[in-house]
Amino acid sequence: MDIFTRLKTSASADWQSYVDHDFVRQLGAGTLPQAAFRAYLVQDYLFLIQFARAYALAAYKSRTLADIRIAQEGLAAILAETELHVRLCDRWGLSRADLDAAREEQATVAYTRFVL
């Protein structure tokens, strides 16, 4: 059994509540209100910024050049994803200025600061 399956099995109630969440079901069914999706896009962008900071911190705390390179590769991938995200948000009427001016919701702050 791979690690993903083991972890999913050991946290099956949490996993089920995640995949059965109303947001996920509506997104999959194409019935999610556009306002909810736009709010998600904004928070996901703000999450990516903090995720990038976590990888930058990993590079800073690395003790070997090889580990710094690994963190740098992760950071580069996140930064590239952020730019893709900005382009997607633009299609939904959200400019980079809108994204940068947005406030993080409490759940986003709680999760990202835990990671940091």
**Contact predicate 55/78, CB 8 Å:** yes
Task: Determine the Cα–Cα distance for residues 34 and 32; give it in Å rounded to an integer.
Answer: 6
Task: Determine the Cα–Cα distance for residues 108 and 49; give it in Å rounded to an integer.
Answer: 11
How high is the pLDDT of residue 77? Answer: 98
Mean pLDDT for each consecutive 10-residue tract of the chain (116 residues)?
93 92 95 95 96 97 98 98 95 94 96 86
Distant-in-sequence, close-in-space partners of 85: CB < 8 Å, separation ≥ 6: 41, 44, 45, 48
Task: Determine the Cα–Cα distance for residues 44 and 51; give it in Å rounded to an integer.
Answer: 10
**CATH number assigned to the domain with residue range 33-115, chosen from the 4 options 3.40.640.10, 1.20.910.10, 3.40.50.970, 3.90.226.10:** 1.20.910.10
Fill in the DSSP letter of residue 93.
Answer: T
- The residue extents of the domains of the chain are 1-32, 33-115
CA 30 to chain centre: 21
How high is the pLDDT of residue 115? Answer: 81
How high is the pLDDT of residue 36? Answer: 96
Prediction pTM value? 0.84
How high is the pLDDT of residue 75? Answer: 98
